[in-house]
Amino acid sequence: MSEKVLSIRDGLKETEAGMTIMNHLNLEVDSGDFITILGGNGAGKSTLFNSISGNLTLTSGEVSLNGTTVTHLKEEERAKFIGRVFQDPKQGTAPRMTVAENLLLASKRNKKRKFAIRRLKENKEKYTELCKTIGNGLEKHLDTPAGHLSGGQRQVLSLLMATLEKPDLLLLDEHTAALDPKTAHQLMELTNDLIQENQLTCLMITHRMEDALKYGNRLIVLENGQIKKDIPENEKYKLTMEDLLSFFS
């Protein structure tokens, strides 16, 4: 039996205004799963991610990571296990810190946050090589503040930061949505390569149907804070665009 990286059991979230935004949701994610998540606006996709990352506390129910209950752990504690890339290129990187400094910061996940210039120099060569493999010129910007990068470069940096220290779980929250089609495609291919090479477990929210079809081994459709469809690998590869559109009522 494969190891469960994430379990949500009977997750319920009611807002102060009495609205149910996660409705008794159950989800089990196996190690190595790459799950694409679809759902209309307001379906509860970000709520799902926020409840996993600890940005939002469930009204009731349980969240476990690698078999350990994290329901009452703070976001900073859970961040040791989770890498997250957001839709907005401005989130996830420190704008005034250089690319190399951001990467060094990301390498400190799970470790004591001691930041030394010496460590920066030691790692620069490694970061240059890492960035060179991407092919978008990021290696020429190691000393550039992240805030000066283009949106596409900044999302690549965010992705590298989220995966530099292999996370137990990678959460991609429409991370290509703000990019032009070509850059979005390149970032999506890079994402898939990183996931396959490092055998990452990943949940990816997307509104791009073609990406939901092409990538991942499982597909989930959310509606009204619940999982409406959960399609395993042996059915996912047969799906067509028409099938996907029919899931949206």
Summarize as ranges the residues that interact with ligand ATP (CB under 6 A). Answer: 15, 21, 39, 41-47
Least Å from the CB of residue 172 to ligand ATP = 13
Residue 61: exposed, middle, or buried by beta-carbon count in 10 A (0-12, 13-18, 19+)? middle
Element (H, E) at 200: none
Q: What secondary structure, in 3-state letters, does 36-98 show?
A: EEEECCCCCHHHHHHHHHCCCCCCEEEEEECCEECCCCCHHHHCCCEEEECCCCCCCCCCCCE
Q: How far is the CB of 233 from ligand ATP (least distance, A)?
A: 24
Nearer to ligand ATP, 124 or 207 (CB): 207
- Decide whether 176 or 186 has the Cβ nearer to ligand ATP: 176
Q: Report, in Å, the least distance between residue 166 CB and ligand ATP.
A: 26
Closer CB to ligand ATP, 46 or 155, in the complex:
46
Q: Is the Cβ of residue 47 or residue 153 nearer to ligand ATP in the bound state?
A: 47
Query: How many residues comprise the chain?
Result: 249
Question: From the CB of 42, what's the least distance to ligand ATP, in Å?
Answer: 4
Nearest C-alpha neighbor of 204 from the set 48, 89, 31: 48
Which CA distances in Å does 100 have to 14, 157, 191?
A: 41, 10, 20
Q: Where do the H-state alpha helices sit in the chain?
A: 45-53, 75-78, 99-106, 117-132, 151-163, 181-197, 209-214, 233-236, 241-246
- Shortest approach of ligand ATP to residue 242 CB, angstroms? 22
- Rg of the chain taking only CA atoms, in angstroms: 18
Closer CB to ligand ATP, 15 or 26, in the complex: 15
Closer residue to ligand ATP, CB minimum distance, 42 or 135: 42
Provide the minimum distance between the beta carbon of 1 and ligand ATP in the complex, in angstroms, as a whole number: 31
Dihedral over alpha carbons 180, 165, 173, 150 (to 10 degrees): -30
